Amino acid sequence: MRKIGLVGGMSWHSTLEYYRVLNEQVAATRGGHASARVVLESLDFAEIRECQQTGDWRRAGRLLAEAALRCQASGAEVVVICTNLMHRVADEVEAALDVPLLHIADAIADAAHARGWSQVGVLGTSWVAAEDFYVGRLARNGLRVHVPSPDEQTEIDRVIFEELTLGRVEEPSRAAYAEVIGRLRDAGAEAVVLACTEVGLLVRPEDSVLPLLDSADIHAEAAAAFAVAEPAGVS
Domain membership flag for residue 235: no
Q: Give me the half-sphere count of Cα atoms (radius 13 Å) on the Cβ side of residue 117.
A: 25
Residue 85 has pLDDT above 60, yes or no: yes
CA triple 221-145-219, angle to 5 deg: 10
For the chain, helix, strand, coil in percent to 5 are 55, 15, 30
Question: 196 catalytic, yes or no?
Answer: yes
Helix, strand, or coil here: 117?
coil
199 and 168: one domain?
yes
CA triple 142-4-59, angle to 5 deg: 75
Identify the pLDDT of residue 154.
95
127 and 190: one domain?
yes
Identify the pLDDT of residue 66.
98
119 and 25: one domain?
no
Domain membership flag for residue 97: yes
Total number of residues shown for the chain:
235
Identify the pLDDT of residue 232.
52
What are the start-end ranges of the E strands in the chain? Answer: 4-8, 38-42, 78-81, 119-123, 144-146, 191-194, 212-214
pLDDT tens-digit profile of 29-43? Answer: 999 999 999 999 999
Q: Give all strands of the β-sheet with 119-123 in edge-to-edge order.
A: 144-146, 119-123, 191-194, 212-214
Bigger pLDDT: 231 or 181?
A: 181
pLDDT tens-digit profile of 93-152? Answer: 999 999 999 999 999 999 999 999 999 999 999 999 999 999 999 999 999 999 999 999
Catalytic residue among 51, 71, 82, 83: 83
Q: Give me the half-sphere count of Cα atoms (radius 13 Å) on the Cβ side of residue 144.
A: 10
How many Å apart are CA 138 and CA 120, to the nearest integer?
Answer: 9
Identify the pLDDT of residue 145.
97
Question: 51 catalytic, yes or no?
Answer: no
Longest Cα–Cα distance in the chain = 54
Query: CA torsion sign, 173 to 175 to 181 to 186?
Result: negative
Residue 51 has pLDDT above 60, yes or no: yes
Identify the pLDDT of residue 231.
66
Tell me the average pLDDT of the chain.
95
Domain membership flag for residue 15: yes
Domain membership flag for residue 12: yes
Number of domains forming the structure of the chain = 2
Residues 6+ apart with CB under 8 A from 172: none
pLDDT tens-digit profile of 41-50? Answer: 999 999 999 9
Residue 75 domain boundaries = 4-103+218-228
Catalytic residue among 15, 125, 196, 197: 196
DSSP state of 40: E
92 and 111: one domain?
no
Give mean pLDDT, residues 160-173: 95
Q: Which of 51, 186, 56 is nearest to 119 (CA)?
A: 186
Domain membership flag for residue 139: yes
> Which neighbouring-strand residues pair with 7?
41, 81
Domain membership flag for residue 170: yes
Identify the pLDDT of residue 233.
47
Q: What values do phi and psi take at 144, rounded to 5?
A: -90, 130
189 and 223: one domain?
no
137 and 199: one domain?
yes
60 and 135: one domain?
no
Q: Provide the pLDDT confidence category of residue 75 given band limits of 50, 70 and 90.
A: very high
